[in-house]
Amino acid sequence: MTHQTHAYHMVNPSPWPLTGALSALLLTSGLVMWFHFNTSLLLLMGLTTNMLTMYQWWRDIVRESTFQGHHTPIVQKGLRYGMILFIVSEVFFFSGFFWAFYHSSLAPTPELGGYWPPAGITPLNPMEVPLLNTSVLLASGVSITWAHHSLMEGNRMHMMQALLITILLGLYFTFLQASEYYETPFTISDGVYGSTFFMATGFHGLHVIIGSTFLIVCYLRQLNYHFTSNHHFGFEAAAWYWHFVDVVWLFLYVSIYWWGS
């Protein structure tokens, strides 16, 4: 009988890395077809196969951990490192957009009128919906901490209430931001102001949607008794990601909405 002489989890051969890579090909080539030839079939196939891959890959991880018990403390440590490194990579991703914003706004060119916000741009009032959005995300940071402590203390009802509040706040943020997007007097095409504004806030909004989805999955798992009071890394990873999203918003609010107006 064979046995491994190391502590790490060697997963069963899986088709999902391949389908994931192929779905990325379909997404990118699909975008090209949509932009240049006005057909969306490839893009649709890309989105579908991407969703299918993510669903099945993460479903398998839940099976390996919750149902097969492969996530020992050492394996979990590796997962922690992995999530931390992923979030660090996302920090660098957003740094690029902040760099672009500061590059253009600290030394506004003559074409912009030599000042920021540029000539012709009416920025959003930072004391209105953007401030509400800030309070919504900060509150969601509090509620997710409450959820975590409830989970650690074995308080099932409180954990689910707090997690639900967090999710609802996240959805509320998305709704508010979407309505702001509808109301802005400027568009992404309005010079470098529009570009930096919508690229930075747009990707942030996408991350809020991703984070909310992650939290909803955690909620469903909690409903099905997957988490224990001291083994719930999926929830912790979601919480880390959510705090990251919150911090990015704080930088966005201070830099683009407040200082940038």
Partner 1 sequence: MCDIAPDLRKGKIRMNCFLNVVFGDGRMQYKEQRMANTLGNLDEDDGIPVHLKGGIADALLYRATMILTVGGTIYAIYQLALASFPKKQG
Which tokens go with 261? 């107006």
Nearest-approach distance from CB 241 to partner 1, in angstroms: 24
Query: Closer to partner 1 at the Cβ: 23 or 105?
Result: 23
Query: Closer to partner 1 at the Cβ: 142 or 220?
Result: 220
How far apart are the C-alpha atoms of 103 and 35, rounded to whole Å?
Answer: 29
Nearest-approach distance from CB 68 to partner 1, in angstroms: 6
Nearest-approach distance from CB 211 to partner 1, in angstroms: 25
Site residues, partner 1 (CB under 8 A): 11-16, 18-19, 22-23, 25-26, 29-30, 33, 36-37, 41-42, 45-46, 48-49, 52-53, 56, 60, 63-64, 66-72, 154, 156, 224-225, 228-231
Query: Closer to partner 1 at the Cβ: 234 or 260?
Result: 234
Query: Closer to partner 1 at the Cβ: 74 or 107?
Result: 74
Nearest-approach distance from CB 102 to partner 1, in angstroms: 38
